[in-house]
């Protein structure tokens, strides 16, 4: 693909990737990733490699420099097998942003201040252009909890929400109260699964605390209760989820900007 006009004034340059196709739905999700490779340059090369068959719309380097790889009108290939609120082709309805960070397999360093500031600015522009709701700024791990961990528990979700990017509630304090754990079953597990599914996570409301439920709880904790990520649904996790659902209900009740 030849170079194309960028959508954002904060983009430093366009590096066209051949890995994209036609959208089948307008984008209504921003999906955030980390690159998960030892170097940012290697990640950029892979995102442009036709044999790798992966891409994203944007990539944010550690320095805060941003490149655009795929036009927003096109379907980039970044989400893989994924789901949210029952939709399974997340690539079709999302704008993907890769944030340079080697990830959990390579030491998982903190995200830098310039990098985060640049990503927030980029996201704010996308939200304004595409009218994306705050609760639909998601992690890769949210839509693919059994496969992915990115951008992970070190990602500053609170700061993003304070900047108008994403939805956040103050996590309920962690106590030593009993947790729901894998192998548990019953109505309390069913209520947990129903609440997670109501927010958008792909979990069956079976009443059985199976491995998929543990994966979803882990993904929820990485995003919304990052102080302790263990896949066990303690009181803090369940009450934070309750607060989050209430915050989204309040958001949806407000008149939307035209």
Annotation says 12 is catalytic: no
Catalytic residue, from 22, 98, 170, 198: name it. Answer: 98
Contact 3, 14 (CB under 8 A): yes
In sequence order, the 6+-apart residues with CB closer than 8 A to the CB of 258 are none
β-pair type (66-68, 58-60): antiparallel
| Residue 32: φ, ψ to 5° | -100, 135
Q: What 3-state class would DSSP assign to 187?
A: helix
What are the start-end ranges of the H helices in 8-87?
40-47
Which alpha helices (DSSP H) does the chain contain, by range?
40-47, 113-130, 140-143, 157-162, 187-199, 211-224, 235-253
Catalytic residues: 98
């Amino acid at each position: 693909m030849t170079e194309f006009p960028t959508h954002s004034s904060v983009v430093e340059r366009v590096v066209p990737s051949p890995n994209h196709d036609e959208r089948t739905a307008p984008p209504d999700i921003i999906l955030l990733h980390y690159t998960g490779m030892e170097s940012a340059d290697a990640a950029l090369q892979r995102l442009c490699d036709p044999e790798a068959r992966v891409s994203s719309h944007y990539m944010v380097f550690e320095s805060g420099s941003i490149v655009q790889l795929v036009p927003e009108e096109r379907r980039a290939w970044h989400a893989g097998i994924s789901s949210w609120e029952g939709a399974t082709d997340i690539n079709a309805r999302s704008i993907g942003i890769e944030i340079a960070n080697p990830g959990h397999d390579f030491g998982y360093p903190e995200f830098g201040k310039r990098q985060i500031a640049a990503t927030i600015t980029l996201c704010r522009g996308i939200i304004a252009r595409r009218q994306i709701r705050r609760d639909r700024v998601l992690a890769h791990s949210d839509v693919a909890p059994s496969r992915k961990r990115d951008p992970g528990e070190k990602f500053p979700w609170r700061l993003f929400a304070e900047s108008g990017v994403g939805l956040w509630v103050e996590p309920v304090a962690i106590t030593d109260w009993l947790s729901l754990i894998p192998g548990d079953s019953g109505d309390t597990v069913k209520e947990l699964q129903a609440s997670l599914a109501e927010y958008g996570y792909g979990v069956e409301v079976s009443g059985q605390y199976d491995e998929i439920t543990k994966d979803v709880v882990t993904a929820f904790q990485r995003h919304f209760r990052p102080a302790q990520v263990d896949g066990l649904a303690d009181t803090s996790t369940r009450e934070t989820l309750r607060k989050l659902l209430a915050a989204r209900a309040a958001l949806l009740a407000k008149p939307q900007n035209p």
